[in-house]
Amino acid sequence: MKTISGQNVSRFSFGTMQFGGKADETESGAMYAACREAGINFFDTAWAYTSGASEQILGRLVGGERDNVFIATKAANGKTATKEVIDREFTESRKRLGQETVDLLYIHQPDPVTPLEVSLEAVRPYVEAGAVRHVGLSNHSAWATMKARGIARSMGFDIHVLQPMYNLVKRTAEIELLPMAASEGFAVCPYSPLGGGLLTGKYARGDGGRIRDDQMYARRYSDAWMFEAARGLNDLAAELGTDAATLAVAWVARNPGVWGPIISGRSVEQLRPSLNAIGFDMSDELYARISALTPTPPPYNDRTEEA
């Protein structure tokens, strides 16, 4: 993937979910500048983020360097990926961003009712018109991804990018999605490399955050073994003289099936350890030590005795 000006897209990307929420416009601008200084030119947003403020702020920040950055947004977060929803949300997203073209449009969530053919047919005219340069899927299974690719190719375009959740305590993507992506040439840009902040160790310190404030995150990261893994990662970080967030992000990036993780934050100070992962050289030995902190997912056939 390349920007409009032909620059290569950075492996690491920045997720703007906090823009207009826990990060006001000034702090959002500071994080954007820190990312650009670190070499990130790939920015991820969505119609659903902060009631549209995320897209609006990102659009203003991109400003005159639009050709040099790569913008991804998403439609159909409510698990309803009909033509009506995709048309309405993508039209609104472009207005908020102040852009006629986005580099990457994801279908945000699988729709258990609407056929993939219908959802992809809704995207097709935008690809043909040049309003969407690349198409992606977020939160979709491996089988649905391959089905979608076949449908898209029959319509004259392709699926290029996948966005699953993936971190040290959420490793299901290792079973089928990441091997499939490596085999079939998908770029995988996982979200939540810090596990909702769990892997930074802040909850062990008594600090607040999404796992305390948001019921969705509280349910997602509720198991005691996850908190134990976070303590182990923090102990390892202390041993190495680095930050647990740096290790968590670098561990995700180290997986051969991952193109690059999406990092985020609500301030430059909070973001800095994740940015430090960009240049972190993780050895095979360290990768194995971190991986051993959590259970390795079973193989796709569940024959654990052969793993």
Look at residue 260 in the predicted model and tell me its pLDDT. 95
**Arithmetic mean of pLDDT over the chain:** 94
70-123 pLDDT per residue, tens:
999 999 998 899 999 999 999 999 999 999 999 999 999 999 999 999 999 999
> d(Cα 106, Cα 162) in Å, to the nearest integer?
8
Identify residue 233 by its one-letter amino acid code: L
- Quick check: 108 and 48 in contact, CB under 8 A? yes
CA 257 to chain centre: 14
In sign, the C-alpha dihedral spanning 160, 165, 168, 170 is negative
Look at residue 12 in the predicted model and tell me its pLDDT. 98
222-273 pLDDT per residue, tens:
888 889 999 999 999 999 999 999 999 999 999 999 999 999 999 999 999 9
Look at residue 197 in the predicted model and tell me its pLDDT. 86
Strands 161-163 and 132-138: parallel
Token couple for 209: 């955050």
The H-or-E segment that residue 133 falls in is strand 132-138
Alpha carbon dihedral 287, 288, 294, 296, in 10-degree steps, equals 110
Q: If you ran DSSP here, which 8-state letter would residue 233 be given?
A: H
User: Would you place residue 214 in the very low, low, confident or very high pLDDT band (cuts 50, 70, 90)?
Assistant: low
> d(Cα 293, Cα 89) in Å, to the nearest integer?
41
- Using alpha carbons, list the distances in angstroms from residue 37 to 34, 61, 79, 97, 123: 5, 14, 36, 22, 34
Give yes or no for residue 47 having a pLDDT over 90: yes
Write down the residue that tokens 């802040």 correspond to. Answer: 202
Report the predicted TM-score, pTM, of the whole model to 2 decimal places: 0.94
Active site residues: 49
* 101-119 exposure pattern, b = at least 16 Cβ within 10 A, e = fewer: ebbbbbbbbbbeebebeeb
From the number of C-beta atoms within 10 Å of its C-beta (0-12, 13-18, 19+), residue 165 rates as middle
Q: Under the phi-then-psi rule, with left for phi > 0, alpha for psi from -120 to 50, and beta for the rest, what region is 196? A: left
Q: In residues, how long is the chain?
A: 307
> d(Cα 125, Cα 102) in Å, to the nearest integer?
14
Q: How many Cβ atoms sit within 10 Å of the Cβ of residue 75?
A: 27
User: Would you place residue 202 in the very low, low, confident or very high pLDDT band (cuts 50, 70, 90)?
Assistant: low
Q: Shortest CA distance to 58 belongs to which of 88, 35, 83?
A: 35
> d(Cα 178, Cα 88) in Å, to the nearest integer?
32
From the number of C-beta atoms within 10 Å of its C-beta (0-12, 13-18, 19+), residue 30 rates as middle
Homologous superfamily assigned to 13-163: NADP-dependent oxidoreductase domain (3.20.20.100)
